[in-house]
Structure 1
């Protein structure tokens, strides 16, 4: 299996048709996409219930930061070949069907077959601030696991890329992440 992890956003529907949006690192394995969602999680439960997911490829890092800071309502449109939704601002999306499930207590492996792929817009490249926001979102998702000193050191380093290369969207996303760290330190639960 390819050990390279690509940061994406996965959209799923519950058995009742309720959409869920979640950032997720994925691996590509030939014609399959490998997801390893934590248990319990809505992403895992939704894929097991419906057999489908949509992989969204995007550069709008506000979605990554928003999802880990409680902003999970993003404009969605219908998928084309499966019962699902994709992000309206995705540069491309891949519609997926569950091909194999290897259960695990903490992180089951879901091999997903590519059903349909579409490019919606051009990819012109990343700026360093986008990578900083994605990495900051990973840190925020692990605030309960990491020492305050590690968070401070990592955020300070990532701030350099924000200061040098961020556009309006990255600055907004970074602000959400900084607020989440402050709320965590204040003991607020969101």
Structure 2
């Protein structure tokens, strides 16, 4: 059985306090530990190694996911409560993570972080199908250089069904950003 991976947005800062947001899959451990496996090179990896801190943001505003993978990284942030760092204002829940250890890997080091603080800010009512489709679309856009165009087209066409049936204005906006990023990639220009 494969290990469960949960999609969230990781917030970090560099040593000068400049924020960086990145959608990322995380693995939870029973002992308040969280595993992150950022690809090299990665601003998220560099920031965590430099500061030892990360914020884990759970949210349903899929515009943040789509925005981050399409160059829209300016989202309202708030200071974390116990560690020096920032969290997303839109987070339904956030955890403040302290780096404990690094298992080196040439492509994806494994970072083990300890949750020193967690806070709930709003109830999680679930995801609608369009929100789930935007998340999957964001993963595809993050891998445009790795996947064949036919796979991207097939998967996006399937995801479009959920967008057509259940999208609110927020999901439509996020979906549009993803479609623009795919078109820009194929045209050879930045999104």
> After superposition, where does 1:80-99 map in structure 2 within 5 Å?
80-99=81-100
What is the alpha-carbon distance in structure 1 between the residues aligned to residue 129 and residue 178 of structure 2?
A: 16
TM-score (norm 1): 0.98
Give the deviation of 1:189 after TM superposition.
2.4
**Runs of 4+ with >3 A deviation:** none
Structure 1 residue 168, shift from structure 2 partner: 0.9
> Could you tell me which residue of structure 1 aligns to residue 114 of structure 2?
113
The SS at the match of 2:22 is strand
Aligned partner of residue 156 in structure 2, secondary structure:
helix
Aligned to 2:5: 5
Q: Does 1:65 align with 2:60?
A: no
Quote the Cα distance in structure 2 between the aligned partners of 1:184 and 1:28. Answer: 33
Which position in structure 1 is the counterpart of 2:33? 32
Aligned residues: 190
Give, in whole Å, the separation in 1 of the partners of 2:70 and 2:111.
Answer: 26
Using the alignment, how far apart are the partners of 2:116 and 2:39 within structure 1?
24
Residue in 1 aligned with 2:56? 55
Partner deviation per Cα, 1:115-167 (whole Å, 9 max, x = no partner): 10000001111100011000000000111111111111000000000001111
Aligned ranges for residues 108-187 of structure 1 at < 5 Å? 108-187=109-188
Tell me by how many angstroms 1:53 deviates. 0.2
What value does the CA root-mean-square deviation take over the aligned residues? 1.2
Aligned partner of 1:14 in structure 2 is 14
Query: For 2:178 and 2:190, how far apart are their aligned partners in 1?
Result: 14
Secondary structure of residue in 1 paired with 2:137: helix
TM-score normalised by L of structure 2:
0.97
- Paired residue secondary structure (1:7): strand
- Secondary structure of 2:23's counterpart equals strand
Q: In 1, distance between residues paired with 2:14 and 2:131?
A: 30
Query: Could you say what secondary structure the match of 1:23 adopts?
Result: strand
